Amino acid sequence: MRIILVRHADPDYKTGLLTEKGKREAAIVGERAKKWVGQIDEIYVSPLQRARDTAAPIEEALGMKAVVLPWLEEFRASVKPEVASNKALSWDFLPTLWTKDPLLYDKDHWTESSIMTPPEGNIGATACLKETADGLESILAAHGVLREGNYYRYGDPDPRALDILKKGCVHREITQTPEEAAAIMASWPVHPERETYEKTVVLVCHMAISFVMLGYLLGISFVPLVEGMFIAPTGVTVLNNESVLSLVENRWVKKGDAVGFRTQFIGDVRHLVEAGEPISGRGSFASIFRD
């Protein structure tokens, strides 16, 4: 199975929409998506408008509609304002602060750090991580990619997972009822010649939630990922599910195999470079290297 993550285009965070540059970027990544036609089985999108507007050209290129998943919204855990440089978001910590806490490097316990303590009445990182993990596992289980401890095994698709996905599609003013989501899913192309391991899903979302998913799938704490890496707007990240037995036994993945995820590339913006569109530094605090 393959997961493609696409970060939204250059945003105007005050309005929640795309800038004029962002609109150009979205159109360009849509052009890139034309090369994906016939390879994509499903497309999902964050409910936030900047992600919806980025997904629109991709949907048009693929001839597919996206299902809205509320948990793909930007990682919404909050922390006490005094520990975060960017209001109360659960990232952009000063390195002199977060690097002192070993818990923040721990893939299983980073949400338990005192730095991650939310203000009273706000949602915390533990709950947000569970929400993200449950949503991601629903997509995987619907294709028979079933978690066993810290790895996965290919088995039979879980029909209950599809129901979970459909019921999780209502959010704020941008809504899809379960019935609408089911209709969209039913319209997706069917490739009976492709095995489950060849399925590819696209998730159009945000930078921090992408690092949460990367950390979860690769067994790495979110914090050093989000503090140490950057994905530019419309950056494309690809994770492939693989089994070492494919090499040992000279075959592709088959039912019963233990598998893991390996990243092919993170935040690729070749489409912008090839189109002559400057790479946006939105989300980075350094000047962007251009070659």
For 240-266, the pLDDT digits (tens) are 998 887 777 777 788 889 999 999 999
Helix axes 49-62, 20-33, angle to 10 degrees: 30
Determine the pLDDT at residue 16. 93
Distances (CA, A) of 178 to 46, 163, 169: 16, 8, 6
How far apart are alpha carbons 26 and 207 in whole angstroms? 15
Element (H, E) at 241: strand 236-242
Residue 16, by phi and psi: left (phi above 0), alpha (psi -120 to 50) or beta? left
Tens digit of each residue's pLDDT, the chain (291 residues)? 899 999 999 999 999 999 999 999 999 999 999 999 999 999 999 999 999 999 999 999 999 999 999 999 989 898 987 776 656 788 989 899 899 999 999 999 999 999 999 988 888 999 999 999 999 999 999 999 999 999 999 998 888 888 887 777 766 566 788 889 989 999 999 888 877 778 999 999 999 999 999 999 999 999 999 999 999 999 999 999 988 877 777 777 888 899 999 999 999 999 999 999 999 999 999 999 887
Contact 41, 69 (CB under 8 A): no
The fold adopted by the segment(s) 2-243+252-275 is: Rossmann fold (3.40.50)
Residue in the structure block whose two tokens are 């914090």: 223
Range 187-205 burial, b when 16+ CB lie within 10 A, else e: ebeeeeeeebbebbbbbbb
Determine the pLDDT at residue 205. 98
Determine the pLDDT at residue 86. 59
Contact 209, 72 (CB under 8 A): yes
Determine the pLDDT at residue 172. 58
Determine the pLDDT at residue 193. 80
The model carries a pTM of 0.95
Range 118-142 burial, b when 16+ CB lie within 10 A, else e: beeeeebbeebbebbbebbbbbbbb
How far apart are alpha carbons 24 and 48 in whole angstroms? 18
Closest listed residue to residue 74, CA positions, set 187, 219, 231: 231
Contact 171, 145 (CB under 8 A): no
How far apart are alpha carbons 11 and 22 in whole angstroms? 6
How far apart are alpha carbons 10 and 16 in whole angstroms? 10
Determine the pLDDT at residue 98. 92
